[in-house]
Amino acid sequence: MLEALRHFPAYVRSRFPPQVYGVALVMAYAGCVSVFSAAAGRQPKIATSVCSLLGFILIFLLIRLSDDIADVESDTRSGAILEANAQAYRLMLGRIYPVVAIMIAGIGLLVGALPYSLVIVGLIVIQPAVRSAIGTPSGALSSGSAVTDSLYGLQHEGTYFACCFYIYVTWRASSDADVGLWLAFSATALVWALLLIWKYSRAISRPGWEPYNLSWPRIRSALVALIILVVLSQLSISHYLRLASIYALAASLIGAASIAMLFSTTPQERQPRRNFGIIFALANLLCLISALSVSSPI
């Protein structure tokens, strides 16, 4: 275990860089908590907010660990991991994995959301088994069947939605307040859609990368649908909290410009735009946080 912990910081810097994942997750958490607190007129306790934020980050770290453990074999075949190091790498991840899962459960216990935290951990843990059950090889992007790909997509992307909904569950538990489910789902849908846009926008700079066996035109259509969901979620939040109209306008303009960019990008321009997803996500989260900081609900 000590050996695993010694190598773990290098793994995090390489596979879960705090300057990217950490900043994005902190902004997503801060944006959602600010929305809920503005609607309820109550702020959660600082200590529990910090614990919940840590739990939120650890959830996505657990997803990263789960994916990397499942992909060790395929990464070894592709040369991404040296065969001589594969066993030690798998052992290191396998020892850290249960520690992170237990920490998530412990934080859930502290903030009063243990059952939901256990559900989240369970959904993440069973994903490799689900992939195997539907016949998707390790490291593959598709099982080759539209039906099984659809079923796996519902479970996989649904798990991400449940992870994003964790923010609302822990906020409600720690603040002893509540907001309408419409606002809770609007904020969660916003973060979830931004996450998927960030995740699947890698297809822009990686021709031939086809998750669920979707060609680039279909992935682009899915990204457009997610961008529309981002805009609608922000319009819903803006209407509910009566935020400054400039916020709704800015969100709409960012969305429209992004859709135009997706349809105007030529194959030669796709590689330079590999950071589209993270830039889009951070721009929208910054827009939301800025609007909440200068506006107050009536």
Mean pLDDT of 35-45: 90
Considering only CA atoms, which of 183, 181, 232 is closest in space to residue 34?
A: 183
Q: Structure tokens of 207?
A: 């021709």
Q: Structure tokens of 171?
A: 């906020």
Q: Structure tokens of 42?
A: 């109550």
Domain residue ranges in the chain: 1-179, 180-298
- Left if phi > 0, otherwise alpha if psi is -120 to 50, otherwise beta: which for 142? beta
Task: Give the number of residues written for the chain.
Answer: 298
- For 213-242, the pLDDT digits (tens) are 888 888 999 999 999 999 999 999 999 999
Question: Which residue has 């805009």 as its token pair?
Answer: 231
The CATH T-level fold of domain 1-179 is Tetracycline Repressor; domain 2 (1.10.357)
Q: Structure tokens of 93?
A: 């991840």
Are the C-beta atoms of 30 and 46 separated by less than 8 Å?
no
Q: Is the pLDDT of residue 31 over 70?
A: yes
Q: Distance of CA 126 to CAs 62, 107, 152, 156, 180, Å?
A: 12, 21, 11, 10, 31
Considering only CA atoms, which of 28, 107, 6, 30 is closest in space to residue 62?
A: 107
- For 247-280, the pLDDT digits (tens) are 999 999 999 999 998 888 765 665 556 688 999 9
The pTM assigned to this predicted structure is 0.90
